[in-house]
Structure 1
């Protein structure tokens, strides 16, 4: 990136880039030309995601050929690179007590642009699978229908997220826009995996899970209880009515900590900030793995800013 354009397009500080660069995959053992201009490529990925411009409109003088940026984006998504970077940053944050393990979960819908849906129809198999990452992460495998579903608002995708008590992302799962939130909760919780700095197993269990009424059912409450996770989820009105109709046999209502529940809005604030990136607010990506990789990259940038804050 030239000196004349760096101040205009650069998002990461030198300290943040040094942290990211040390976590990116090396060229050792790879075929083909070695990776060059890593910072320029990564800044190009961030710029394109923030602005939502077509790949071909990426400023060449600042980021080089758009094809190079796209190929790196596709490769990093298939290999789970940003998931690995985020995991390491989370490990560093947890080691210094920067993660609040009272977790809030929710989802947000992103309308799919016509340029992102001119592929296999959402209700048909894609016929192609991408390679697993070294860690075997399922997110590196292209799902059927490219995670585009038909909801009331048209073709859309849904990002399910778990955030800590301060609204910082811990887990990101992508589905079609028609998927029920409660059905995906188990997958969202499984995706929470924060390694330890030094010996020890990764932390995967929050202290509590805060969610709205969409997650209120007996199956979810039993699942959280079995894992030793405190559920902070209000009951639906029909659940309350059904319990009252049963009288004494209906049992006691589940415990509800209203003070803790008041902090659920942090997940909404997380989505508001993430959707300031236009490439997340609207899905322009044809592939689900590249769209989700964009959301994970946004999470990486958010954590870098938090850890660098005075």
Structure 2
């Protein structure tokens, strides 16, 4: 009798699992798959891919119009590999996403996408993206794969959950896109390409540490050792100011970009540093972090747009 009951319960559990799976598959739409790719992150990184692509063409005397397939392969491949990395990050973070307010609406939390679906999707588009990058150049594909591994394995799976250095590790991956774009045209990677990489690398810690201050309660609840959670706001503010001070000389390494770029970089960097220093007199740390976060986005957009403009005339 007991065996019959156990068999019946097992059968019911299997039936419920199959029904749940079928419902999840039925509810899933293309919008859910788009949602797990984090389109905002993909688009912002794609901007730096294009800048790398455009500048490499300029400094090598190549016309993107004459190399349309290379440009398309680089941009589309970068889009897919970036989206793949973000999707795999969704898969890895599915245990902590329900705890954080900003991630509670993800399809992996609502159940509209099952973990296996997310994993297969992330791996598939990452492989497709790598293949397209290889059509542009093997160097671009290699950089793309290294960036993907750093973001998914070293950042998402390891350091994000174990150390405050996670921001630094993640910055290596976030600084790879301009190198990908440059390598698609110039696989040897001109020193200017590495200057772009360094600029992106230094930009990210103050950007993400400001975000971590804003979301410190959520990170604490999720057990993520972000710097504001582990060391407090005072230490985090000092780190942010240090990086904003460092980004000024780093941005000025791009001397060949001309006087207009240098002036914009100096003014934007100086403004960011001034806002950072003002934080020591502000009583509301969260408000200051919010201002620093918004400024970092404006700094990023304005500086990279100027890079394109000064090379068009």
**Which structure carries more helix by proportion?**
2
Computing the radius of gyration from Cα coordinates, the structure with the larger value is: 2
Common fold: TM-score over 0.5 = no
Q: Scaled by the length of structure 2, what TM-score is found? A: 0.26
**Which structure carries more strand by proportion?**
1
Relative contact order, higher structure (CA 8 A, sep 6+) = 1
